[in-house]
Amino acid sequence: MSEHQHEATPNHSFGARNWIAEASDVCQRAAQGDLEARVLNIDDQKHASPDMPELLHAINHLLDMTDAFVREATASLEFAGGGKFFRRVLLAGMRGSFARAAGSINAATAQMEQEKKALDRAHAQRLELEEDFNKLREVVRALADATGHIDLMSKTMAKLASQTSLLSINASIEAARVGDMGRGFGVVASEVKKLATQAASASSEIQGRVRELTGAAKNTSQTIEQIWTVIRDQGSNQSENKAA
Amino acid sequence: MSHLTGHERTFEPSEIIVSKTDTKGRITYANQVFQRVAGYTEAELLGKPHSIVRHPDMPRCVFKYLWDTIAAGREVFAYVLNRAKCGDHYWVFAHVTPTFDHHNRIISYHSSRRVPCRKALSTIVPIYQSLMSVEKRHANPQDQWKASLPVLVDTLTKAGVSYDEFIFSITDQNVGAAA
């Protein structure tokens, strides 16, 4: 930047500088986005027209305001893009359209900050949900285990009933062999046989119910695992959003 | 030579003191507000180090932090007490940013200085005073900032904020805003 300015700087003889050409050049550079351009050494030089210094200062002033706005807006948006929302555009010295644009950027930053907070809350809630849901998965797993145990126990019960039944038949045979003396014992053996039959029918009913329970537990488990996958996917999406 | 009058100067909230320096800190541009408030002509300022407006009551560690930050390519804000040519003083809220070329290399620095709000100064002045009391124990400028910079860092660490967050927390962002 300075090379250009040095070319044009002092050469104290009257009229040595072509102010209009310099002013045009500064304006052209600014229009190309070079906001470093300024007209230098205005006051210590002679001017053909008394209005000229005023015009040159006005050009510098316009550039100063534009430069300040661009630097402020850039900084604020860079910070916001990095997830830091405290860096607002300073409104001091900003007038008219500059002030309105600065206000819009600040409002957008404030909005982004709110959305970021809402996202953070949602993230925290999701983590809680994930934790609770994981507990639920354990409960369902424990329920399925317990059902399996009941099934085993009812099978043992059925086996015992069948053995008891066999035993009562043997007892009835032995009782019959002893004749009258064994009649009382035969009655007991026949009652035991009835109880064994009832026990067998009860255990068969339990096994039926257990089969239903096992089916229901399997369905519940599958549904829970499907929901779990959705929760986990949401979790990784949210983490990506947070990182972005 | 650097006499002080104890008289404070100020400028309008709608005004911005603007200056540009090369990467060595030599002034390459100073706007009319700068010239008026600091009391120097443009010719007196161009090519001079920016420390021409340095006030003896400013802690060196603040400038050390400021220069390190902009040299690293980041913007920096600072409340700065400056000294005008006549020995008057004036407070500014300075925003200093590096200017980059197409290759992202720093080619110059730009400073916009605004009128600070008094409330921010009431927080800043005691901090600067404590930093100055540390610096006064040393004669050499480098020893001065080396002693006071950890104090500044420690103050911020205890407050649990970054330097930027601290500055923005004491700054009323609407100061000077057009109604």
A214 and A152 part of one domain: yes
Q: Which residues of B touch A36 (CB under 8 A)?
A: 20, 99, 107-108
Tell me the ipTM for this assembly: 0.86
Quickly list DSSP for B5-26.
Answer: --PBP---TT--EEEEE-TTSB
Looking at residue B86, its pLDDT comes to 96
Out of B115, B168, B174, closest to residue A91 by CB? B174
Looking at residue B28, its pLDDT comes to 97
pLDDT tens per residue, range B36-83: 999 999 999 999 999 999 999 999 999 999 999 999 999 999 999 999
In-domain check, residue A155? yes
Q: Count Cβ neighbours within 10 Å for each residue of B106-123 and write b for 16 or more, e otherwise.
A: eebbbbbbbbbbeebbee
With both helix axes pointing from N to C terminus, report the angle between B163-170 and B118-135 in degrees, rounded to the nearest 10. Answer: 140
A123 and A194 part of one domain: yes
Q: Which residues of A touch B99 (CB under 8 A)?
A: 36
Looking at residue A6, its pLDDT comes to 45
Looking at residue A2, its pLDDT comes to 42
Looking at residue B106, its pLDDT comes to 96
A236 and A143 part of one domain: yes
Residues in chain B where the model's pLDDT stays below 50:
1, 178-179
Looking at residue A242, its pLDDT comes to 59
Closest approach of B135 to chain A, Cα-based (Å): 31
Cβ of A93 within 8 Å of Cβ of B15? The answer is: yes
Answer yes or no: is pLDDT of A8 > 50: no
| Tally of CB atoms within 10 A around A2 | 16
Looking at residue A100, its pLDDT comes to 94
Cβ of B177 within 8 Å of Cβ of A99? The answer is: yes
Cβ of A90 within 8 Å of Cβ of B173? The answer is: yes
Out of B28, B43, B75, closest to residue A2 by CB? B28
Out of A68, A72, A92, closest to residue B177 by CB? A92
A137 and A82 part of one domain: no
User: Any chain A CB within 8 A of the CB of B162?
Assistant: no
In-domain check, residue A27? yes
3-class DSSP assignment, residue A224: helix
Q: Which residues of B touch A87 (CB under 8 A)?
A: 164, 168
User: Any chain A CB within 8 A of the CB of B41?
Assistant: yes
Looking at residue B177, its pLDDT comes to 52
Answer yes or no: is pLDDT of A11 > 90: no
Closest to B125 (Cα-Cα) out of B80, B175, B60: B80
pLDDT tens per residue, range A160-213: 999 999 999 999 999 899 888 888 988 998 999 999 999 999 989 988 988 898
pLDDT tens per residue, range A44-98: 788 888 899 999 999 999 999 999 999 999 999 999 988 888 888 988 888 899 9
A62 and A170 part of one domain: no
Closest to A92 (Cα-Cα) out of B71, B37, B173, B100: B173
Sign of CA dihedral A182, A187, A188, A190: positive
Looking at residue A1, its pLDDT comes to 41
A125 and A238 part of one domain: yes
End position of a domain, from candidates A44, A64, A87: A87
> With pLDDT > 90 as the criterion, what percentage of chain A qualifies?
45
A123 and A83 part of one domain: no
Reading the block at residue A33, the tokens are 């986005």
Looking at residue B176, its pLDDT comes to 52
Which residue ranges make up each domain of chain B?
17-170
Longest CA span, chain A = 154
In-domain check, residue A100? no
A48 and A145 part of one domain: no
Q: Which residues of A touch B102 (CB under 8 A)?
A: none
Looking at residue A160, its pLDDT comes to 92
Q: Kindly identify which residue of chain B lies nearest to residue A6, measuring between CA atoms.
A: B28
Q: Give dist(CA B151, CA B133) in Å, integer.
A: 11
The tally of domains found in chain A comes to 2
Quickly list DSSP for chain B.
Answer: ------PBP---TT--EEEEE-TTSBEEEE-HHHHHHHT--HHHHTTSBGGGGB-TTS-HHHHHHHHHHHHTT--EEEEEEEE-TTS-EEEEEEEEEEEE-TTS-EEEEEEEEEPPPHHHHHHHHHHHHHHHHHHTT-SSHHHHHHHHHHHHHHHHHHHT--HHHHHHHH--TTTT---
Q: Which residues of B touch A60 (CB under 8 A)?
A: 31-32
End position of a domain, from candidates A39, A71, A87: A87
- The overall average pLDDT reported for chain A is 87
Looking at residue A15, its pLDDT comes to 53
Span A146-158, average pLDDT: 89
Report the alpha-carbon angle A84-A88-A94, nearest 5: 160
What is the pLDDT confidence band of residue A233, given thresholds at 50, 70 and 90? Answer: confident
A231 and A139 part of one domain: yes
End position of a domain, from candidates A87, A110, A136: A87
Cβ of B173 within 8 Å of Cβ of A96? The answer is: no
Report the alpha-carbon angle A34-A91-B163, nearest 5: 90
A77 and A147 part of one domain: no
Q: Give dist(CA A113, CA A122) in Å, integer.
A: 14
Answer yes or no: is pLDDT of A5 > 60: no
Sheet holding B89-100, edge to edge: B27-30, B17-21, B106-114, B89-100, B76-83
Pick one of 1.10.260.40, 3.80.10.10, 3.30.450.20, 3.40.720.10 as the CATH number of B17-170.
Answer: 3.30.450.20
Cβ of A41 within 8 Å of Cβ of B164? The answer is: no
What is the pLDDT confidence band of residue A114, given thresholds at 50, 70 and 90? Answer: very high
The residue segments making up the domain with residue A183 are 119-243
Closest to B75 (Cα-Cα) out of A31, A49, A12, A78: A78
CATH (domain of A161)? 1.10.287.950
